[in-house]
Amino acid sequence: MRVTHPPVAVAFAATPEEDVFDSLRTAATHLTVGVAGLRKKATGVRPWLLLDSTGEAQVIEAGKHAIMRRTGLPARDLRILDPILSYPSTVLGRERAIVINLEHIKAIITAQEVLLLNSKDPSVTPFVDELQRRILRHHHATSQEGMIDAHTDWTHLYDLGEPRSREASPPRVDASIPEGGQEVKADGKHSFDKREGPKLLPFEFIALEACLEAACSSLDNEARTLEQEAHPALDKLTSKISTLNLERVRQIKSRLVAITGRVQKVRDELEHLNINEGDIEQMDNQQQAEQLFRANTLGRDSRGTRTSTTRSGNSKHLDVEELEMLLEAYFVQIDGTLNKLSTLREYVDDTEDYINIMLDDKQNHLLQMGVMLTTATLVVSAFVVVAGVFGMNINIELFLGDTEPEKEVGMRKFLWTVGGGTTGSIFLYVIAIAWCKKQRLLE
């Protein structure tokens, strides 16, 4: 007979093998995330602070290749900004960007934006605020200039389109007549070059000036702080030579050597830029190319095109001059900081020479005392020899007397011997010291 049993629900507990598989799966997930993070670090993805020409700031994460495509820089130029590697202060002018590596500032400047690498550094925060403020000021000035230019263009367009009668039209001038320091063209209008107001610096020059000012000011503040700490420590050392004062001066000298090297590198870089005009022109190529493009686009005829091209060439020359003046101004500032450090270094060297002279003088006094003590020891040794001779166990007439008068005579002779030996030792010591002074061995 066949018996049918009802279905029984069986709950299977997790076996140890399944627990092991779950643990391995979880570990693999964490390992994948970790590998992804390591791959992200390996590709050089870093946070960059982006400041555009309007002053807007945003943090972007970009790798080395993305920055290369964005700025047109080669990999060897980006390697200068690597915080892991130690590169000296450098300012590189390239076709599309300027690479800045000055002290704590590591930036890439293009014609429309600034990329900062270490924006979270507390020492960079004041620089970011100042740079953003300058960019905003430049943006407002540029916007106002653009509005004025647009209004001027529309006014000229209205003047061109206004019908004029032959009788009301002003007579044409055949030759240009100087009027108020401005040229008057044959059509009666002032020259475009002369009617322009104060020229605004390009965006990259504004950012470059902020970087140079921040780096030079930082070095100058460090030099001033070091100078304020060095003078009291050196004066205290000259008044009292001690281990604590010597240690303080040693630390100050180490800091002085370090900051002098940093200032010297910045000065050499600015001097190189001032001497090498090719780098200066490369810094201005991007802006001048855009100006030339706009001038060629806005030209209405061949004469306007030639005028715009000439104006762009003059503007390029003026921009190069402005950049040279900018670099020269900060070169003078950093050179003054270097001179200040050089003066402090000379003061430290003079203090060291003074300390060495004092130590040599004390050493000479110790040597003189040693000579005097050695001479005294020699004379006393001679007297000890005499005393040793009389202390020998031998029979002499001085100690052979048995009666009282003979003993008194012997005592008298003994005292004369001791007194004569002492007097002779003192006399010999005086003679030795006099001879040393005559030979200038003693003062």
Residue 173 belongs to a domain: no
What pLDDT sits at residue 262?
Answer: 93
- pLDDT per residue as tens digits for the range 6-17: 444 434 344 445
- Residue 190 Cα distances to 11, 148, 183, 187, 215, angstroms: 99, 17, 6, 9, 43
Residue 308: Cβ-neighbour burial (10 angstroms; 0-12, 13-18, 19+): buried
Residue 111 belongs to a domain: no
Q: Is the pLDDT of residue 228 over 70?
A: yes
Q: Is the pLDDT of residue 106 over 70?
A: yes
Q: Is the pLDDT of residue 306 over 50?
A: no
Radius of gyration, CA atoms only, the chain:
45
Q: Is the pLDDT of residue 384 over 70?
A: yes
What pLDDT sits at residue 191?
Answer: 39
- Residue 403 Cα distances to 16, 353, 395, 415, 416, angstroms: 122, 74, 17, 19, 20
Q: Is the pLDDT of residue 397 over 70?
A: no
Residue 104 belongs to a domain: no
The share of the chain scoring above pLDDT 70, in percent, equals 64
What pLDDT band is residue 199 in, cutting at 50, 70 and 90? low
- pLDDT per residue as tens digits for the range 142-164: 888 766 655 555 444 444 444 44
What pLDDT sits at residue 165?
Answer: 39
**Residue found by looking up tokens 């004062």 in the block:** 245
What pLDDT sits at residue 419?
Answer: 85
Residue 434 belongs to a domain: yes
Neighbour tally for 283: CB within 10 Å? 26
Residue 34 belongs to a domain: yes
Q: Which two tokens stand for residue 345?
A: 């270094």
Q: Secondary structure of 328-364 in the HEC alphabet? A: HHHHHHHHHHHHHHHHHHHHHHHHHHHHHHHHHHHHH
What pLDDT sits at residue 241?
Answer: 87
What pLDDT band is residue 55 in, cutting at 50, 70 and 90? confident
Neighbour tally for 86: CB within 10 Å? 6
- pLDDT per residue as tens digits for the range 322-347: 888 888 999 999 999 999 999 999 99
What pLDDT sits at residue 146?
Answer: 63
Q: Mean pLDDT over residues 261-279, rounded?
A: 83
- pLDDT per residue as tens digits for the range 58-83: 999 988 899 999 888 898 888 888 88
More confident position, 181 or 226: 226
Which stretch, 230-234, 287-291, 384-388, has highest mean pLDDT?
A: 230-234
Give dist(CA 55, CA 142) in Å, integer: 12
What pLDDT sits at residue 163?
Answer: 42
Mean pLDDT (the chain) is 74
What pLDDT sits at residue 151?
Answer: 52
Q: Say how many domains are in the chain.
A: 2
Residue 84 belongs to a domain: no
Query: Amino acid identity of 218?
Result: S
Summarize the chain as % helix, strand, coil (round to 5): 70, 10, 25
- pLDDT per residue as tens digits for the range 126-140: 999 999 999 999 888
Residue 141 belongs to a domain: no
What pLDDT band is residue 95 in, cutting at 50, 70 and 90? confident
Residue 214 belongs to a domain: no
Q: Is the pLDDT of residue 29 over 60?
A: no
* Residue span of the structural domain in which 415 resides: 364-438
What pLDDT sits at residue 406?
Answer: 65
Neighbour tally for 321: CB within 10 Å? 11
Question: How wide is the angle at C-alpha 365 spanned by C-alphas 360 and 370, nearest 5°?
Answer: 120
Q: Which two tokens stand for residue 431?
A: 């003679």
